[in-house]
Chain A
């Protein structure tokens, strides 16, 4: 099992490296001279030259990449063009807010989703089941920013006016409601469906039937026999949803003007702020890969066939 995990980890690292390569190559294609960008229009040629040396822009691309990579490894993501400060500094705040946002969304969505999923599995083919399956289907299909806008139209200033539709520095906690809600809606459906599917599969399985035929009472059947086998895939899908969030926040943050990585990314793209774009994309990809990895590991760990070496 540990071997499997190590292998997974290695692949994760490999992927991340490949991603860094892609990102670097991509951003190299951007027009504009870094030094010029940083110093701005009215910088004297001398200073530009000096900076170019300092940024070793004269070096061949390969070297530049290596330096860049080295920098990243050492946690130095370079200097943002737009506001000439350390990228790490620029990002620290937004990353925190984004993580908080994602965390809240996950916290809001997961328990409800699991409950709904389990109930519809137990009430299979009854009204509740149909309702929930329809509901999840509908919600799942709508792009998250559309969900967001619908929420705004409904609960925002234009509608019932319960919650503000844009985030601002001096706004109260109520401005978190709509973004969190939107993301929660985006995250929940797959969890519900997976929970339902696995529960049904497990409950239909021969070993649960056998447990029943053994005369084990229902609670034990559910908790001792069904649950352990259902936990794996569900946990996995939950993790995957979190991974999705890493990319999903962008549109939502943009919509609610929420000061997180997503918005930073949009601004960075707007301003052709290469180092920032690189950093954010890498960051998001990194989180994405990491969480996927965790999902894998959970999947493995939950499976005794893997957990316990075969004889």
Chain B
């Protein structure tokens, strides 16, 4: 049993949002986090600002299909002869939006399930986890494809499917974290006082699983980007003539040999984005481990 290193330090008068901020601060300490933020920022910038600076509309025709070196276009035309640059600039925000939404929903739902399962234990835990297992038995992509093939590619559906496929994975992690927390006596203390269960979960447990939570969020975001992109790539995501990076790759694969730009640009963007997101996540998780060591003795 060792006393914490920082025993007896002067009371820090204001520590906003408890450890959460601390986590970010620590994470920011790692160089890779900064790099990740820069990369992600770059792509987000392109995706958000892109549509406003695009030279053409994403659907107007400026060249023959797969024609390059057309003056007025930087990267030539795509499979229909629309400006590759324009479509690239337009194609980002859908991806970000879908990925963001599905990750957020999935993690939120997963957290609720995880905390409840981890805290209430018993049959509820079993049921939730078994259901989770069944969901987990579908590789994420397969599940998405199955549903898409049945209902047909709809935006809300994409979000829903990805979110659902995230849920059990997040739930598992949060459940483990919750169990660790539940072992801690302050939860028992709250029970001894007779604090309502939901408040115990909200006040005592949730704040203490934020670290794994943030890490999961980052992780799921990275995956979501991947899945959304893959769906687009498989033609099961957004439908033409939408400008979407995943779809662009799909549409222009045919012409890769003649017109590599139409594929290279979105591919590069997705790669950079995922790498960036993952770098941040990595920073967070490193920070989280460092911080939680204090909590778990």
Residues of A within 8 A of B (CB): 11, 14-16, 18-19, 22-23, 26-27, 29-30, 134, 137-138, 140-143, 145-146, 149-150, 152-153, 156-158, 165, 244, 246-248, 250-251, 254-255, 265-266, 269, 272, 277, 281, 284-285, 288-289
Contact = CB atoms under 8 A, between A and B. Distances in A.
Given A19-B134, A152-B256, A285-B138, 19 more contacts: A15-B137, A18-B134, A23-B146, A138-B275, A141-B274, A141-B277, A143-B226, A145-B249, A157-B257, A244-B139, A247-B139, A250-B234, A251-B233, A251-B234, A266-B145, A266-B234, A269-B149, A277-B146, A288-B137
Interface stretch (B2-10, B58-66, B188-196, B260-268): B260-268
Which residue of B139, B271, B274 has the most chain A CB atoms within 10 A of its CB atom?
B139
30 contacts: A11-B130, A15-B130, A15-B134, A22-B138, A23-B146, A26-B147, A29-B150, A137-B275, A138-B275, A138-B278, A140-B278, A141-B222, A142-B270, A143-B227, A149-B256, A152-B256, A153-B263, A153-B264, A244-B139, A246-B139, A247-B141, A254-B234, A255-B233, A266-B145, A266-B234, A269-B149, A281-B138, A284-B142, A285-B139, A288-B139
Interface in B203-231: 222, 225-227, 229-230
Question: Taking chain A's interface residues, is the majority helix, strand, or loop, or is none over half, making it mixed?
Answer: helix
Nearest to B134: A18
Nearest to A134: B32
B142 to A, nearest CB: 5
B142 A247 contact: yes
By secondary structure, the B interface counts as: helix
Contacts of A141: 222, 274-275, 277-279
Interface in B43-77: none
Contact of B137 (A16, A138, A149): A16
For chain B, give the interface size range.
35 or more
A182 to B, nearest CB: 13
A74 B146 CA distance: 24
Contacts of A254: 233-234
B295 interface: no
Interface string B146-158: 1111110000000
B145 A142 contact: no
Contacts of B274: 141-143, 146
A146 B275 CA distance: 12
Nearest to B149: A269
Contact of B133 (A11, A137, A247, A269): A11
Interface of B: 32, 130, 133-134, 137-142, 145-151, 222, 225-227, 229-230, 233-234, 236, 249, 253, 256-257, 260, 263-264, 267, 270-271, 274-275, 277-279, 282
A27 B149 CA distance: 9
A248 B150 contact: no
A146 B137 contact: no
Contacts of B253: 149, 255
B218 to A, nearest CB: 10
Contacts of A143: 225-227, 229-230, 270, 274
A138 to B, nearest CB: 5
A148 to B, nearest CB: 10
Nearest to A166: B253
A284 B260 contact: no
A15 B277 contact: no
Contacts of A23: 146
Given A11-B133, A15-B134, A153 B140 contact: no
Nearest to B256: A158
B260 A158 contact: yes
B275 A247 contact: no
B249 A149 contact: yes
Contact of B145 (A137, A255, A265): A265
